[in-house]
């Protein structure tokens, strides 16, 4: 059942052009295709195979003569001439019944598509693989006022619209949208003077939430010209917001389709974090126009070729638009939470996997986020100038290609003369390397001894050493920097690096800016951590020192029943008071390791984590910190109130983040009086939601919860927050019951992935509640996964990863979880997506 990278063969037939006609009707849409095929001179086999799923074939013809293809489980085959020919087919599909949200489906009465990875085969018979690229002409017939597809509008009349996309593309980039939509227009003049019409299409009523996205789009277009020399290549760029969408967004050529939560924004309804994420996703999808669309992937094993690079590019963009250190810290927090967790469990896989059952299960943190880290390491190793010349060569050499990771690395080898054979292991080998660090000092020479080791992952027992760029700086005893950042290039299992001519033993700052996605293991004192927190010039490591100090203190609280670490409390107080530090940085440095981080750290250290004990330790520490920082919290809260009109920029959101972190501490001492005042006077969602979270945390949230619902019941995206927050702030023993109660709320629905994630996803993001010994959390999630699977396999499979850490826990919990996994696997007709995920988890 799995398919293998090693089995790749070129397509038997290539396509010169595709004509599609859609006769739209909610439950009986007709799709007429006329496709010019020609034999591929490079092909090994001549068999004509078209993919197709859930299609009713009405008629088929070759060069005008009717044919009767042989139908297979996954499509059809047919005898064809040994020369170019025209394939014509008519199929019927049922968009209204398409709850999987893949192919052509309906969302709130609007037609829309999602074809990546293999959804186009649910629209018509086609060689649905990314190395078959074609020019598409699309005619849409229907009575919707707005009917969109890729490329440029070439004709529009009563009941029809015709689109032509001059850029050859794989079918996964096809898109169609039709409905009663309104647009927020804009325009952009490219560097060479091309006038591009921009539109964000939304449901009537959402027009007021488009301005921010439009600005983000323009900023992205300018940024890609300035930084990568990439200009937009059509006269039109459309974005559409859709409420029912499995993922964040999709980069279809000239017609990006977005989950409405990833594009619609207003100060009243969106938080600062929402704004930042929307800006990043708009950039991400736009950047795909070059890294993904103009240069696409040969096959789905190469997914990281476009995703890793595009995530890397959108992170650079955010760093430029906002604060680079803040973005880096946020990304590392997310990487550790999602990718390290994946890499250290049963779902671990390579950045470029060598086999899969269902490609939709591989849109993972490893392929996206670790894929981006790998590019960051490459850039660190070759240097900025060589990186951009390699990228220029990549665009020049591969424009119009369906490329591979080999092509990508070849470009870097050719541009820099570097041998990347060993570096390639980052693509092929799964798992997070551990880098153990010891040091010594004698006669003015400081030596760092590094050794690397990557634990086994499923199917990969032995991991040879990798190239690891370790950025290091040295601090002197009075906190000055005695050696500026230098990149140590580790290539061996064990290696030592010397720094000569020092007057005294320095304090090392290791893995600055998180220069590689590895786990550093180094025994050092809390005093040294506090020193680095106070003095490091590298913002990432400054933050990291505080985080490590907190984590080590928490682990002692958990394992040895210690009291909160005074050194952590003192160092944090000093840091928080330092007004020379960016408020956004201070807010991040006031964050604590997550429950899941602590569980993983305990597990790594050979201790079975108890989620309730972890929760209790975090509560104790937060309470102690609130006490220790009482005056500072009050001062910061007052000092960082924003009085100007709301702007979602880095400066204002940093101030709000710090003030709201202070509010969290204040609430632990005043029971919510200040939070209630903030709730009552808030004029933006950031302030309102932060206050609501505090009130819930204090156990005094009921009135605000009711008021919030009354105020926002008409706004789905805000109500998603309402669902989540109640679950996230429940006591562990109540979490499952709160979630269960909310699944019975009239606004809960299985049909909308955002609402499902807001509810069941919030359950899984509350470790102490989800893993409560009663097993109620496990049972509730399994119940709902079983109900969702027949409707929406993709979202079900993705949410089943909540169970991926199950082997960390005690026997009682493992027994409870394995029973739920078995119950899911025993469902008749369980989807391929969910079967693959749950069995990989179960087999651990």
Helix (H, G, I), strand (E, B) or coil at 80: coil
The question of whether 285 is a catalytic residue gets the answer: yes
Q: Which of 726, 819, 738, 813 is nearest to 772 (CA)?
A: 813
Report how far residue 97's alpha carbon sits from residue 817's, in angstroms, rounded to the nearest whole number.
33
By beta carbon distance, the residue nearest ligand ARG is: 363
247 touches which of ligand ARG, Zn ion, none (CB within 5 to 8 A by kind)? Answer: ligand ARG
- Cβ distance 724 to 759 under 8 Å? yes
Task: Give the footprint of Zn ion on this chain (CB under 5 A).
Answer: 307, 310
Q: How many CA atoms lie within 13 A of 19 on its CB side?
A: 7
- Cβ distance 276 to 785 under 8 Å? no
Angle between helices 539-560 and 526-535 (to 10 degrees): 150
Neighbours of 268 (CB within 10 A): 16
234 touches which of ligand ARG, Zn ion, none (CB within 5 to 8 A by kind)? Answer: none
* Nearest approach, Cβ of residue 287 and ligand ARG (Å): 10
610 touches which of Zn ion, ligand ARG, none (CB within 5 to 8 A by kind)? Answer: none
Report how far residue 17's alpha carbon sits from residue 24's, in angstroms, rounded to the nearest whole number.
22
With respect to ligand ARG, which residue has the nearer C-beta, 363 or 637? 363
* Nearest approach, Cβ of residue 749 and Zn ion (Å): 27
DSSP 8-state class, residue 457: B
First CA to last CA distance, the chain = 19
* Nearest approach, Cβ of residue 285 and ligand ARG (Å): 6
Task: Give the footprint of ligand ARG on this chain (CB under 6 A).
Answer: 116-117, 247, 249-251, 284-285, 307, 360, 363
117 touches which of ligand ARG, Zn ion, none (CB within 5 to 8 A by kind)? Answer: ligand ARG
107 touches which of Zn ion, ligand ARG, none (CB within 5 to 8 A by kind)? Answer: none
474 touches which of ligand ARG, Zn ion, none (CB within 5 to 8 A by kind)? Answer: none
With respect to ligand ARG, which residue has the nearer C-beta, 281 or 624? 281
Report how far residue 842's alpha carbon sits from residue 844's, in angstroms, rounded to the nearest whole number.
5
CA distances from 254 to 35, 154, 349, 369 (A): 21, 14, 32, 25
CA distances from 188 to 240, 255, 278 (A): 18, 16, 19
With respect to ligand ARG, which residue has the nearer C-beta, 15 or 257? 257
Report how far residue 597's alpha carbon sits from residue 604's, in angstroms, rounded to the nearest whole number.
10
Query: Pairing relation of β-strands 296-297 and 249-250?
Result: unpaired
507 touches which of Zn ion, ligand ARG, none (CB within 5 to 8 A by kind)? Answer: none
53 touches which of ligand ARG, Zn ion, none (CB within 5 to 8 A by kind)? Answer: none
Neighbours of 76 (CB within 10 A): 20
* Nearest approach, Cβ of residue 192 and Zn ion (Å): 26
Catalytic residue among 88, 118, 285, 373: 285
With respect to Zn ion, which residue has the nearer C-beta, 248 or 526? 248
Neighbours of 88 (CB within 10 A): 18
- Cβ distance 287 to 193 under 8 Å? no
* Nearest approach, Cβ of residue 303 and Zn ion (Å): 9
With respect to ligand ARG, which residue has the nearer C-beta, 251 or 610? 251
Q: Which of 260, 292, 304, 10 is nearest to 129 (CA)?
A: 10
φ, ψ at 739 (rounded to 5°): -65, -40
- Which residues have a Cβ under 8 Å from the Cβ of 820 and sit 6 or more positions away? 778, 779, 781, 782, 803
* Nearest approach, Cβ of residue 262 and ligand ARG (Å): 9
With respect to ligand ARG, which residue has the nearer C-beta, 466 or 798? 798
Instruction: Order across the sheet with 434-442: list the strands.
Output: 494-499, 445-453, 434-442, 519-521
* Nearest approach, Cβ of residue 299 and Zn ion (Å): 17
Residues with active-site annotation: 285
């Amino acid at each position: 059942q799995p398919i293998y990278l090693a089995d790749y063969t070129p397509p038997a037939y290539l396509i010169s052009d595709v004509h599609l006609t859609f006769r739209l009707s909610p439950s009986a849409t007709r799709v007429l295709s006329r496709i010019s095929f020609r034999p591929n001179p490079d092909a090994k086999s001549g068999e004509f195979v078209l993919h197709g799923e859930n299609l009713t074939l009405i008629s088929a013809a070759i060069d005008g003569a009717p044919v009767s293809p042989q139908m297979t489980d996954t499509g059809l085959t047919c005898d064809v001439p040994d020369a170019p020919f025209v394939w014509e087919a008519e199929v019927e599909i049922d968009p209204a019944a398409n709850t999987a949200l893949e192919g052509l489906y309906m969302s709130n009465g609007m037609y829309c598509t999602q074809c990546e990875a293999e959804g186009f085969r649910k629209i018509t018979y086609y060689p649905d693989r990314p190395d078959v690229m074609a020019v598409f002409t699309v005619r849409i017939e229907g009575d919707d006022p707005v009917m969109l597809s890729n490329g440029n509008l070439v004709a529009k009349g009563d009941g029809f619209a015709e689109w032509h996309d001059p850029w050859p593309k794989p079918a996964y980039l096809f898109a169609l949208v039709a409905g009663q939509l309104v647009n927020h227009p804009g325009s952009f003049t490219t560097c060479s003077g091309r006038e591009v019409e921009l539109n964000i299409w939304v449901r009537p009523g959402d027009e007021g939430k488009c301005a921010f996205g439009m600005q983000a789009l323009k900023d992205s277009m300018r940024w890609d010209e300035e930084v990568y020399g990439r200009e937009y290549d059509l006269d039109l760029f459309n974005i559409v917001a859709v409420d029912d969408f499995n993922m964040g967004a999709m980069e279809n050529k000239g017609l990006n389709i977005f989950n409405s939560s990833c594009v619609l924004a207003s100060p009243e309804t969106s938080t600062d974090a929402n704004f930042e994420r929307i800006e990043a996703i708009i950039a991400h999808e736009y950047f795909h126009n070059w890294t993904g669309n103009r240069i696409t992937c040969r096959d789905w094993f190469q997914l990281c070729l476009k995703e890793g690079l595009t995530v890397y590019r959108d992170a650079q963009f955010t760093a430029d638009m906002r604060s680079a250190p803040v973005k880096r810290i946020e990304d590392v927090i997310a990487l550790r939470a999602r990718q390290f967790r994946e890499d250290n469990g049963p779902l671990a896989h390579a950045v470029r996997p060598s086999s899969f059952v269902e490609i939709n299960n591989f849109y993972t943190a490893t392929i996206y986020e670790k894929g981006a880290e790998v590019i960051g390491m490459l850039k660190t190793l070759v240097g900025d100038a060589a990186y951009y010349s390699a990228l220029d060569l990549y665009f020049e050499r591969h424009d119009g290609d369906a490329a591979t990771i080999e092509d990508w690395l070849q470009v870097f080898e050719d541009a820099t003369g570097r041998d990347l054979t060993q570096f390639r292991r980052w693509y092929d080998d799964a798992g997070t390397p551990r880098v153990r660090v010891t040091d010594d000092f004698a006669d003015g020479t400081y030596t760092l001894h590094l050794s690397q080791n990557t634990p086994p992952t499923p199917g990969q027992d032995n991991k040879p050493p990798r190239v690891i760029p370790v950025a290091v700086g040295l601090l002197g005893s009075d906190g000055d920097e005695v050696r500026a950042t230098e990149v140590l290039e580790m290539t061996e299992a064990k290696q030592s690096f010397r720094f000569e001519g020092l007057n005294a033993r320095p304090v090392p700052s290791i893995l600055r800016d998180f220069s590689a996605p590895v786990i550093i293991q180094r025994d050092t004192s809390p005093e040294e951590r506090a020193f680095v927190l106070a003095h490091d010039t590298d913002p990432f490591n400054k933050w990291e020192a505080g985080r490590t100090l907190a984590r080590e203190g928490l682990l002692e609280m958990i394992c040895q029943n210690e009291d909160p670490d005074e050194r952590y409390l003192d160092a944090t107080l000093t840091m928080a008071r330092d007004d020379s530090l960016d408020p956004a940085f201070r807010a991040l440095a006031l964050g604590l390791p997550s429950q899941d981080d602590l569980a993983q750290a305990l597990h790594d250290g050979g201790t079975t984590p108890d989620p309730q004990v972890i929760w209790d330790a975090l509560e104790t520490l937060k309470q102690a910190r609130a006490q220790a920082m009482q005056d500072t919290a009050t001062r910061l809260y007052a000092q960082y109130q924003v009085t100007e009109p709301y702007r979602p920029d880095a400066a204002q959101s940093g101030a709000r983040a710090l003030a709201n972190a202070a509010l969290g501490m204040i609430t632990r001492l005043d029971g919510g009086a200040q939070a209630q005042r903030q709730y009552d006077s808030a004029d933006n969602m950031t302030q309102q939601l932060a206050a609501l979270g505090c009130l819930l945390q204090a156990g005094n949230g009921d009135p605000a919860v009711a008021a919030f619902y009354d105020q926002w019941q008409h706004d789905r995206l805000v109500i998603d927050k309402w669902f989540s927050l109640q679950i996230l702030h429940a006591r562990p023993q109540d979490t499952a019951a709160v979630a269960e109660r909310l699944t019975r709320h009239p606004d809960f629905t299985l049909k909308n992935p955002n609402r499902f994630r807001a509810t069941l996803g919030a359950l899984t993001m509350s470790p102490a509640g989800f893993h409560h010994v009663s097993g109620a959390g496990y049972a509730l999630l399994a119940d709902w996964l079983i109900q969702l699977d027949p409707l929406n396999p993709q979202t079900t499979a993705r949410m089943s990863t909540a169970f991926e850490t199950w082997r960390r826990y005690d026997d009682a919990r493992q027994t409870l979880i394995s029973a739920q996994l078995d119950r899911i696997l025993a469902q008749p007709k369980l989807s391929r997506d969910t079967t693959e995920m749950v069995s990989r988890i179960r087999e651990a």
